[in-house]
Amino acid sequence: MFKRILIANRGEIAVRIMRSSREMGIETVAIYHEIDRTAQFVNYADYAYRIEGETPKDAYLDMTQIIEIAKISDAEAIHPGYGFLSERAEFAKAVTDAGLKFIGPSHTSIEMMGNKTRAREIMFNAGVPIVPGTKEKITDTDRAIEIATEIGYPILLKAAAGGGGKGMRKVYESSDLVPSLEAAKREAMKAFGDESVYIEKYIENPKHIEIQVLADEHGNYIHLGERDCSIQRRHQKVIEEATSTVLTPELREEMGKVAVEAAKACNYANAGTIEFLLDKNKNYYFLEMNTRLQVEHPVTELVTGINLVKEQIKIAYGEVLSYKQDDIKLNGHALECRIYAEDSFNGFLPDTGKISYYRQPAGYGVRVDSGVETGSEVTIHFDPMLAKLITFGRDRIEAINRMEMALRNYKIKGVRTIIPFLLAVMQHPEFRYGYFDTGFIEHSFDFESLNRMKNEHEEIVAAIATWGWKMTQNANLATDTQPKISKWKEKNLYMRRLV
């Protein structure tokens, strides 16, 4: 096995990869920008090397520096985590060219799946159902009008180089198509440096269902079932779960087989995810393939009992998969909430600052993958996700109830987080019953209820302060205020649901 590996990432995922590496007896090398010098992942690593960059983010994207450090530190392999360089084919190639092992798929697989139109073409040829639309970028507006009319409005204009939920534009009628096309091209150019856009049919109220696959370098492929990632905000996942409430065992098996075919179509080796949209009639369509470890991988780990990072490392070392498809049994239910440093009560504005107090929940069935602790600085330089809270239960309701309890016990002071919002989702009847799709936050979630909860919370804080003050003024008042205490108690119960 490898003796030492470098983790080309930061935050919670760097810590998570280091944990599994250490368990396997592998030493870890961290790279960090000055701004992260006291971060948890830097302390956790066996060795840590500083990297430079014009901005902190640039430092983590500097392939040359990172590969140089891998060589200096005698690391044999590089794990890219997710984000940053994880889906850059040229990085995977440069790592391999430097005589190191890239813990991920080959650069050719990354390249094949990196461009959405190319990926659609490859999947179509492999017999994988794709969302109706074009398989090449739009160059001719007349042809675009024809295609849109053929598949029917509404349609979605998407950036071929898109990612992170960016670069999508919904078009409802033909008169909007041409101006939308121009705007979409401009947006795509600005966000990705590539103006190519293509057309997809807009699937109404779909579920986002993705299948985890594992493949070794010897041609063995398995799938580990699905994750339902339909709770999204601005097309970005917030809550994920395994398994999905809408998949029958038959459909799971069918989609699993299709996902394996999709992975084979790009000669995939290592862990990867095939994303699908599932419509109301249970038709599924390939959306894209993520050629890396996903943020939401822990829910799959909990229901399968398989440590995906360990598998990634073993595959990269050249080992044969130690599981066959028949060995994969899905057990219980797992939920993941992404803990973003954003203000739930103020349009999810990112918040920054020093974490003055941090206490994470624990207990049976509760897992926290976190990159922060008391004293950590949350800056504008990186993604605002601080941690992931994951719960496991014998069934979905147990996992939800456990999540509710864990969210209440999660104390983060100094920066605002979306914990109040996540709690409100856990209590939402449509979520609890499993009746939700990707439009849940937009259509079903009642932001007014969140604001009402906030106002009550503030009232309660004021009431407690007044009551406390009165108590110190006159001990006799204690009896007078008794009714208020019970009123407060009643409200306090409500408040505890909030924070």
Residues 6+ apart with CB under 8 A from 384: 340, 341, 342, 350, 351, 378
Number of residues assigned to the chain = 499
Tokens 């649901």 belong to which residue? 497
Least distance CB 82 / ligand ADP (angstroms): 12
Using the minimum distance from each CB to ligand ADP, give the nearer residue, 201 or 457: 201
Least distance CB 172 / ligand ADP (angstroms): 13
Least distance CB 154 / ligand ADP (angstroms): 9
CB 184 within 8 A of CB 159: yes
Using the minimum distance from each CB to ligand ADP, give the nearer residue, 168 or 366: 168
Using the minimum distance from each CB to ligand ADP, give the nearer residue, 163 or 434: 163
Least distance CB 463 / ligand ADP (angstroms): 42
Least distance CB 245 / ligand ADP (angstroms): 17
Least distance CB 492 / ligand ADP (angstroms): 38
Pair of tokens at residue 178: 């041409």
Using the minimum distance from each CB to ligand ADP, give the nearer residue, 240 or 301: 240
Residues linked to residue 101 through DSSP beta bridges, in sequence order: 77
Widest distance between CA atoms in the chain: 84
Give rounded-to-5 percent helix, strand, coil for the chain. Answer: 40, 25, 35
Pair of tokens at residue 272: 């990867």
Q: How far apart are CA 273 and CA 442, in angstroms?
A: 26
Q: How far apart are CA 192 and CA 117, in angstroms?
A: 15
Rg over CA atoms, the chain: 24
Note if 50 is an active site residue: no
Catalytically annotated residue among 292, 367, 396, 416: 292
CB 346 within 8 A of CB 304: no
Q: How far apart are CA 91 and CA 94, in angstroms?
A: 5
Contact residues for ligand ADP (CB under 6 A)? Answer: 131, 156, 162-166, 200-203, 206, 208, 232, 235, 275, 277, 287-288, 438
Least distance CB 280 / ligand ADP (angstroms): 12
Least distance CB 232 / ligand ADP (angstroms): 5
CB 216 within 8 A of CB 319: yes
Query: Which of 397-429 are b and which e, b meaning 16 or more Cβ less than 10 Å from the residue's Cβ?
Result: eebbebbbbbbbebebebbbbbbbbbbbbbebe
DSSP SS3 for 465: helix
Angstrom distances, CA of residue 128 to CA of 141, 183, 257, 261, 320: 27, 31, 10, 8, 26
Using the minimum distance from each CB to ligand ADP, give the nearer residue, 237 or 457: 237
Q: How far apart are CA 326 and CA 414, in angstroms?
A: 48
Using the minimum distance from each CB to ligand ADP, give the nearer residue, 95 or 295: 295
CB 426 within 8 A of CB 335: no
**Residues classed as catalytic:** 292
